[in-house]
Amino acid sequence: MTPNVLIAGAYGTGNLGDEAILAGLLEELRSGDSSILVFSRDPEETTGIHGVAARRRNASDLRRARRLLIGGGELFQPGMAWKYATLILAARSLGKPVDVRAVGVSRKLSGWERALTARALKVASHVRVRDERSAIFCKEMGVEATVEPDPSERLKPDPSLPEGIQRRLTAGSPKIGLNLRGTYDPARDAVIAREIDTALSALRAAKPEARIIFLPFTRHKDRAEERDDNLGHALAARHPGLVDVLDEPLTPRQMLGVIQRLDLVVTMRFHPAVFAHVVGTPAVVVREYWKVEEFARTHGFPVVEATEVAARLVT
């Protein structure tokens, strides 16, 4: 196989947001009838979700590909940037054009990571980032970058949800989608958990028919701290009958279909807010990560402290 386009990103790791990015890129590329290969941590899973050829990263496929596309999401962050920077440099050494699409570039890069990232991005054919901060940082490194929307914003919801999920989405009112994530700070995580517990208790008292649909967007295959479902099940154990965790594996378009049927989404993560925007569901962002706050403010979603979630749920 000689792919016209080889796509590399954080695919096959258990992050639904990254899979949504890939789905959006594929929708764009397939309109041009390109042959496509994806580098994935879990090729079988990637092929099953997206119907595209996938393999683990290897030099042979890089040599055969006509061009490389790097995208998207927070790829150029500490501990990860070097993987994509070296892939770009390898592709350019083989004479392959490289497009960088809808990525985030972190200011927290170490000195050597920053130097390597700058070197790689400078030789890319095009660099497009998904936020103004990344564009400004690129400019400081001598890299010209333009801002583009997250590719997942191109997606349309899939209404054909599994029967069990459809049945659960008809019970209770209002139906509120909730996504929480770990912060890598146990003390901060404990504070957030305490405030969310307070909010859910207030919701149960004020609106006994309400349902919380917990939306796991990350089930990382190596890092337990990146498994939203663990947080969801802990919440469900503390609030039985109120919290329902969506454990079923869903495609990005199916998750869009779920969020389309909700009355409100409360999230700490980026892509639940993006999905709510795409399908027109109201959303509230819990203040913790600037990229999520920036997206919320741009699209008119309120940004609140964890202590303010209760008031949002009961009004």
Q: Is the peptide bond before 72 cis (omega within 30 degrees of 0)?
A: yes
Compute the average pLDDT of residues 138-167.
94
Domain that holds residue 93: 5-153
**Is 234 among the domain residues?**
yes
**Which one, of 249, 256, 283, lies nearest residue 268 by Cα?**
283
pLDDT at 314 over 80: yes
**Pair 146, 9 in one domain:** yes
Please check whether residues 107 and 13 belong to one and the same domain: yes
Quick one: 104 and 209 in the same domain?
no
* pLDDT (0 to 100) of residue 102: 96
Q: Is the predicted pLDDT of residue 178 greater than 70, yes or no?
A: yes
Q: Check pLDDT > 70 for residue 50.
A: yes
User: Do 220 and 137 share a structural domain?
Assistant: no
What is the pLDDT, as a whole number, of residue 125?
A: 96
Q: What is the pLDDT of residue 219?
A: 87
Burial 6-43 (b: 16+ CB within 10 A, else e): bbbbbbbbbbbbbbbbbbbbbeebeeeeeebbbbbbbb
pLDDT given for residue 54 in this prediction: 96
Mean pLDDT of the chain: 94
147 and 57 within one domain? yes
Identify the pLDDT of residue 1.
65
Q: Residue 178 pairs with which residues in a beta bridge?
A: 214, 266
Does 145 share its domain with 167? no
pLDDT score recorded for residue 222:
73
Tell me, yes or no, whether 310 and 167 share the same domain: yes
Mean pLDDT of 273-300: 96
Phi, psi of 102 (to 5 degrees): 50, 45
pLDDT digits (tens, 9 = 90+) for 90-146: 999 999 999 999 999 999 999 999 999 999 999 999 999 999 999 999 999 999 999
User: Which of 32-46, 105-119, 270-284 is the least confident region?
Assistant: 32-46
Is the pLDDT confidence value at 173 over 90?
no
In this prediction, residue 33 has a pLDDT band, given cuts at 50, 70 and 90, of low
Residue 158 lies in a domain: no
Query: At 22, which CATH number?
Result: 3.40.50.11720
Q: How many structural domains comprise the chain?
A: 2
The one-letter amino acid at 53: A
* 3-state secondary structure at position 312: helix
User: Could you tell me the sign of the dihedral formed by the alpha carbons of 106, 78, 148, 292, in that order?
Assistant: negative
Residues 6+ positions from 62 with CB-CB distance below 8 Å: 6, 68, 87, 90, 91, 94, 96
Q: Are residues 24 and 126 in the same domain?
A: yes
Task: Render pLDDT for 196-214 as a digit per residue (tens, 0 to 9).
Answer: 999 999 999 999 999 999 9
Last residue of a domain, one of 92, 120, 153: 153
Is this structure's pTM higher than 0.75?
yes
Q: Residue 230 belongs to a domain with what CATH number?
A: 3.40.50.2000
pLDDT at site 279: 97
Q: Which of 135, 153, 171 is the last residue of a domain?
A: 153
99 and 169 inside one domain: no
pLDDT single digits (tens) 52-85 = 999 999 999 999 999 999 998 999 999 999 999 9
pLDDT at 220: 80
The predicted structure's pLDDT at residue 32: 64
Q: How far is it, in rounded angstroms, from Cα 210 to Cα 192?
A: 21
